[in-house]
Chain A
Amino acid sequence: MTPAVDPDPPAVRVEHLTVVRGGVRAVDDVSFVVHGGSLVGLLGPSGCGKTTLMRSLVGTQIVARGVIELFGLPAGSRALRDRVGYVTQAPSVYTDLTVVENLRYFAAMLGHDGADADRVIAAVDLTARAGALVGRLSGGETARVSLATALLGDPRLLVLDEPTVGLDPLLRRDLWALFARLAAAGTTVVVSSHVMDEAERCQRLLLMREGKVVADESPGTLLARTGAADFESAFITLIEAGAR
């Protein structure tokens, strides 16, 4: 427990977090703080621990050591369950229900009504497909149904695990614009991606490799510091500098 109650706790506070999965340190002594209303990119190659870190944030991961607090409460607390929206990497929605049936059900779980379901369907541009069975949608459309679920209600923190992977470039641009709008309106958004080019869309980057955070700065600072032309090269420069 924190000794004194912080009147305005940060959206996310992670201290010395270590998670062991299958004998491997999937997350290795990671610490960072995210303040409310920011758009943070969690970038790194597949298998670097992004998903494990995100699962730890939403409280579904058994952690070995460390502190994770969201808005001053331990991750996974009952009081956080209607304040944190989470999108898993594989779309976790019912393929044998229609788009609107999925969202009405999840809305009911959060104590909201059908109007909220319609709102988030429009936000991911699926209104025309609302009556379609999710199993008949394309991969990108299914991912958007999953994303819409996380937008239900009024989440103060969104944890989005690779929400834009494999999507049409125009749609990706629109979604990043949506994330930026949500952040500007005060929602904290943590988005992961293994596509380095998506780094430029974020206000702040957490670069991960082999369970550790290897960089934590703004995209501009990262490029300036490494002297790289793009984020892919910046990442390589960082790793090679670290290895030397």
Chain B
Amino acid sequence: MTLRRTTATARRVLRQLRHDPRTVGLLVAVPAVLMGILAWMLHGRDHDFDTFGPPLLGIFPLIVMFLVTSVATLRERTSGTLERLLTMPLAKADFVVGYGLAFGLTAVVQALVVSGLCFGLYGMHVEGSAWLVVVVAVMDALLGTALGLSVSALATTEFQAVQFMPAFILPQLLLCGIIVPRDQLPTVLHWVSDALPMSYAVGATQQLSTSATVTSTFVVDVAVVAAFAAGALVLGATTLRRRTP
């Protein structure tokens, strides 16, 4: 892995995004509008927006980045650009980390805009630091990117790739603790939710909602999300094959 090839790959992915302003617009506008709808629909209902807002602020970017990355990687596989790259002196990590960097930077912009709207306009309030909410949202987006990269190896067509979203993300959404607190889940489902990264992503924001100080639970939750993202990136790199049948 070399810094030069990794950053060149990240710059290339960002250039592709720059030539596609509609995608960039959607990346920022979709979560912004969704959070606006949520704020409106929970308006006047005590602290509901402060409860549901922060976790969803992280989950929406996770879903969006998962989809964008799995389609982008699948396109590299089907167009032959990945095969060409792998005949060149490029380390698999250059490719995977390059994508992570590019979408991570995009996620920073996305998280800043959406959080700015939530705290400035929609009236969201958390006991902890709003900046840490932004950090968690970026981490969630990175997790989405990493999961998208590794999962896209399982797909051979775009139809399959988009269906991995409901397959991989929706179960996590059901079990992450937004609908039913995780400690009230049936035992087996509680175990399952313990093994899913989104549970920790939501846990981290719940800590920020209710606690003014940085708790050890928050630190552990963020570390687990980071570990899942790193693990998924490593898994993604191992799915890149220089030789194919």
Of A21, A59, A88, A97, the contact of B84 (CB 8 Å cutoff): A88
The binding surface of chain A is classed by DSSP as loop
In the complex, which of the residues B5, B79, B242 contacts A109, with contact meaning CB atoms closer than 8 Å?
B5
**Inter-chain contacts of A92 with B (CB < 8 A):** 79-81, 83-84
> A94: CB under 8 A from chain B?
yes
A149: Cβ under 8 A from any B Cβ: yes
Cα–Cα, bound, A76→B90 (Å):
13
Q: Is the CB of A109 within 8 A of B81?
A: no
A93 within 8 A of B: yes
Contact across chains for B245 and A94 when beta carbons are under 8 A apart? no
A89 CB to nearest chain B CB (Å)? 9
Mark each residue of chain B from 1 to 22: 1 if its CB lies under 8 Å from any CB of chain A, else 0. Answer: 0001100110110011001100
Q: Are B4 and A59 within 8 A (Cβ)?
A: no
Whether A94 lies near B243 (C-beta < 8 A) is: no
From B19, which residue of chain A is reached at the shortest CB distance? A96
Distance in angstroms from B81 CB to nearest chain A CB is 5
Can you list, as one digit per residue, whether each of A92-132 has a CB less than 8 Å from chain B (1) or not (0)? 11111110010001101111000000000000000000000
- Contact across chains for B243 and A149 when beta carbons are under 8 A apart: no
- B19 x A81 contact (CB < 8 A): no
- Select the residue from A59, A94, A95, A101 with max chain B CB neighbours within 10 A: A94
By beta carbon, the residue of chain B nearest A93 is B81
| Given A110-B88, A110-B89, A149-B84, residue A96 in contact with residue B20 (CB < 8 A) | yes
Chain A, interface size category, equals: 20 to 34
For chain B, what secondary structure do more than half of its interface residues adopt (helix, strand, loop), or is it mixed?
A: helix
Total A-B residue pairs with C-beta atoms closer than 8 Å? 76
Q: State whether A97 touches B86 (Cβ < 8 A).
A: no
Q: Specify which chain A residues have a CB less than 8 angstroms from the CB of B81 in the assembled complex.
A: 92-94
Per-residue 0/1 for B138-178: is the Cβ within 8 Å of any A Cβ (1 yes, 0 no)? Answer: 00000000000000000000000000000000000000000
Q: Is A73 an interface residue (CB 8 A)?
A: no
CB distance from B41 to the nearest CB of A (A): 37
Residue of B nearest to A79 (CB): B89
Which chain A residues border B187 with CB–CB below 8 Å? none
Given A97-B19, A101-B15, A109-B5, decide whether A62 and B88 contact each other with a Cβ distance below 8 A: no
Instruction: Report B65-90 residues with CB < 8 Å from chain A CB.
Output: 79-81, 83-90
Q: Is there contact, CB below 8 Å, between B19 and A133?
A: yes
Set A58, A88, A90, A94: member contacting B12, Cβ < 8 A: A94
* Closest-CB distance, B82 to chain A (whole angstroms): 8
* Residue contact B84 to A105, C-beta cutoff 8 Å: no
A8: min CB distance to chain B, Å: 24
Instruction: Chain B residues near A98: list those with CB within 8 A.
Output: 19
Within 8 A of B (CB), among A60-95: 60-62, 76, 78, 81-82, 84, 86, 88, 90-95
Binding site for A on B (CB under 8 A): 4-5, 8-9, 11-12, 15-16, 19-20, 79-81, 83-90, 242-245
19 other contacts beyond A133-B19, A149-B84, with CB at 8 A cut-off? A58-B87, A60-B83, A61-B244, A78-B89, A81-B89, A88-B83, A92-B80, A92-B81, A96-B16, A96-B20, A97-B12, A97-B15, A97-B19, A101-B12, A105-B9, A105-B11, A105-B12, A109-B5, A109-B85
Q: Which 8 A-B pairs have the closest CB atoms?
A: A92-B80, A108-B8, A81-B89, A105-B12, A109-B88, A92-B84, A88-B80, A96-B16
Chain A residues with a Cβ under 8 A of chain B = 21, 58-62, 76, 78, 81-82, 84, 86, 88, 90-98, 101, 105-106, 108-111, 133, 149
15 contacts between A and B (CB under 8 A): A58-B87, A60-B243, A61-B243, A61-B244, A62-B245, A76-B243, A81-B89, A82-B89, A88-B83, A90-B79, A93-B81, A106-B84, A108-B4, A108-B5, A108-B8
